[in-house]
Amino acid sequence: MGAAVGAAVALGLGEDGAAAAAGHAISVAGGSIQCVLERSGTAVFHRAHAASTGVAAAHAAAAGLGATRSGLEAERGLFAATAPRSDPEAVLAPRERLAIEELTFRFYASTGFAHAAIDAALELAPVDPAAVREVRIELPAGAAALAGDLDPRDREAAWWSVPYAVAVTLLGRDLEQPPPPDDPAVRALLARSAVLARDGDPSSTVTVDGRSVTLVAHKGHHMRPLSDDDLVAKWRALNPHGEPPVHLLETAQPLVLPR
């Protein structure tokens, strides 16, 4: 739906056109958390599908194809089908800022569930793995269930593991070029780590032998936005063989341009 409205705005369709694009997109919006539970690539396909379908919905609206107008809040709309106890009026109420302004960048090379814990660990690092007695990692319940693996055995499992990301960070190592999961220092910290779930609490806490740091907003969160240099550094980490295309950055994010 966001992609559809964004594409409609880019096409200059106006309020009615954006509403029509959203109406088309609402009826085909879907997805399942199973891809996250299985840690499959379908999670990435969801994003590609959303972007391409949003553009298609906007072009359909531009062509004058009539669209559903109450697909969110109607008796058989999306809210009724997927969130029956939700409050559509609250969701549809005017906002102080656009939802796109609350996007989060994943600055670290790890699952998004780990980022607040990584920042907390950065404040406690570096540590001597031989001297550490206990590492406690307190996470929101969903993060603990989906990414609390204390015994990752391959690179993919390590990417999904908050305890692995915390261990690597506590050691002062770089998650862009992380040690293998069987690295002795990493295994030593994992063996002394425990994961605790927090119900209804979005914060993450890392405690090393009594020293604790608690964070809700990680670096890259809209409450702690990345600097221009951070954005360029992330681009270069993902594209190590080239320089950022300045003409694209000027269109997408003016703040990234060199001053």
Which H or E run contains 205? Answer: strand 204-208
Residue 103 placed within a domain:
no
246 and 198 in a common domain: no
Q: What DSSP letter does each residue of 115-182 carry, written as one string? A: HHHHHHHHHH----TTT---EEEEEEHHHHHHH--S---SHHHHHH-HHHHHHHHHTT--TTSPPPTT
- 89 and 38 part of one domain: yes
Question: Is residue 248 assigned to a domain?
Answer: yes
119 and 192 together in one domain: yes
31 falls within a domain: yes
Q: 223 in a domain, yes or no?
A: no
User: Do 211 and 116 lie in a common domain?
Assistant: yes
- Strand order, beta sheet including 193-198: 193-198, 135-140, 204-208, 211-215
Domain boundary among 48, 65, 94: 94
Same domain, 251 and 198: no
Residue 36 lies in a domain: yes
Same domain, 207 and 120: yes
Residues 116 and 50 in one domain: no
Global pTM?
Answer: 0.80
Q: 204 near 214, Cβ under 8 Å?
A: yes
* Residue numbers of the domain that contains 257: 229-259
d(C-alpha 235, C-alpha 220), whole Å: 13
**Domain assignment of residue 220, yes or no:** no
| Structural domain includes residue 106 | no
Question: Do 117 and 204 fall into the same domain?
Answer: yes
Examine the domain organization and report whether 132 and 211 are in the same domain.
yes
What's 142's domain CATH number? 3.30.1330.120
Total count of domains within the chain: 3
Check whether residue 137 and residue 206 sit in a common domain: yes
| Residue 146 is assigned to a structural domain of this protein | yes
Q: Are 86 and 133 found together in one domain? A: no
Contact of 113 with 204, CB cutoff 8 Å:
no
**Residue 203 is inside which H or E element, if any?**
none
Residues 20 and 80 in one domain: yes
- For the chain, 259 residues long, give each residue's pLDDT as a single digit of tens: 889 999 999 999 999 999 999 999 998 887 778 888 888 889 889 989 999 999 999 999 999 999 999 898 888 888 888 888 888 788 778 888 777 788 888 999 999 999 999 999 999 999 999 999 999 999 999 999 999 999 999 999 999 999 999 999 999 999 999 999 999 999 999 999 999 999 999 999 999 999 999 999 999 999 999 888 888 888 888 888 887 766 545 544 443 333 3
250 vs 255: CA distance, rounded Å:
8
